[in-house]
Amino acid sequence: MKEILREIFTAVGVPCAIMLFTSYVDKTPIEKYDLKSGVNITLFEDAQNIQNDSLSKEEQKTIDKISNEGCSGININQQYYQDILSSSEIDSTSKFSDSHLEQILNYAQSKGLSAAIRPLLETRDEAPRNQIMPADVDGWFQDYSRILTKLCKIESSEKFDIYLGSELDELLVAHPEKFNELAQNIRNSGFKGRIIHSIIFNCNSDTSKILLLNKIPVDVIGIDFYVRMQNTELPDSMKFYETKYYLNEIFSKSEKPVLITELGYRSVRDNNGSMIFDYRFEGYVDYDMQKKHYDNFIKALTSKEFINDKNLGVYFWITDYPSYVTDINLSKYHRQTGYSYFNKPAEEIVKKYNEDRIFIKYPKGNIKQ
């Protein structure tokens, strides 16, 4: 059978052969070499006023939609709170029980989605998490370590990934040794999934954080890609050249695989001007602007010079509401200037990427073994 398949791949090319013989082809080479496509589903503490452990029908239908649109995975964003940036204590509980989180994880995996659990730290005064700097660093890391240890023990039918940290940038710069210790402890505990650490990337100077992560035993460097496009003279159709420049800076500095763990554009006019604070200001609805930015980013990410083992793909940021169910099942009755691309023109761009991504890393007429 292997010899027959090899001859078919050579004769008709990989895409056609895989579509014809999906049930016979080992998924391992596909999973290893295709680009990934995923969404961040956010579980805010007040997302649902429930205390039970059941996964709702609405949640199931929403995860079905993610899978049916060709995505390969999800980041499950689990919120944890501390009072202010300098607080040394983190609340270790959320309204979403471990059992509920476990059911989301397992249901997603049953639909063919890979999954990662991503703890996100919030302050009650809504200060940015990248500036968290506790007064008692050791005490804070003890709390955070307990949270990670608990999440790593979530039961699932398949292995999942865990985020060591997400946008804890000032802490990473000030105390890389603490994150090094955390990563070592997770690996020594027997955790089987990948360890990811995501940082905010706004400009060239942020490559210094990539250099730090090169030395920490994480498997994947995550990039929350919120870059302000500086060249205002470039037409919208040429913006992907500027994006390519920043992606090249990221890939060239990283010694590890890179996943764009957040990428999002609001459907609001001039939303590319100051992306990281984009959610803070109002503006006119502009679906075409959002679609153009998605198109330009994907053109840049899939450029031939980035088709290599470092480039893992992208997970889109779609969070506008407390519940991911609302983010994905938008209707005309909801505010339409948010990050979600679902049921907007930009969805066409993401669907096309989902259709193409499996074959992008395969040389034409050949399959990697």
H or E element: which one contains 253? Answer: helix 239-253
The Cα–Cα gap between 35 and 301 comes to: 10
Three-state DSSP class for residue 53:
coil
252: left (phi over 0), alpha (psi -120 to 50) or beta: alpha
Going by C-alpha positions, the residue among 145, 146, 132 that lies closest to residue 84 is 132
Mean pLDDT, residues 175-204 taken together: 96
Domain ranges of the chain: 34-359
> Which one is predicted more confidently, 273 or 132?
132
Condensed to tens digits (0 to 9), the pLDDT of residues 36-47 reads: 999 999 877 554
The Cα–Cα gap between 142 and 61 comes to: 38
Going by C-alpha positions, the residue among 270, 283, 293, 276 that lies closest to residue 341 is 293
Q: Band of the pLDDT at 333, cuts 50, 70, 90?
A: low
Angle at 181 between CA 177 and CA 183, to 5 degrees: 115
Instruction: Give the residue ranges of DSSP H helices in 95-202.
Output: 98-110, 137-152, 169-174, 176-188
Burial of 299 (0-12, 13-18, 19+ CB in 10 A): middle
Going by C-alpha positions, the residue among 81, 37, 103, 59 that lies closest to residue 259 is 37
The Cα–Cα gap between 310 and 288 comes to: 31
CATH number of 34-359, picked from 3.20.20.80, 3.40.50.261, 3.40.50.10860, 2.40.30.70? 3.20.20.80
Condensed to tens digits (0 to 9), the pLDDT of residues 282-326 reads: 788 889 989 999 999 999 999 999 988 899 999 999 998 888 999
pTM of the model: 0.89
Condensed to tens digits (0 to 9), the pLDDT of residues 92-107 reads: 877 677 888 999 999 9
Span of 117-121, 209-213, 231-235 with lowest mean pLDDT? 231-235
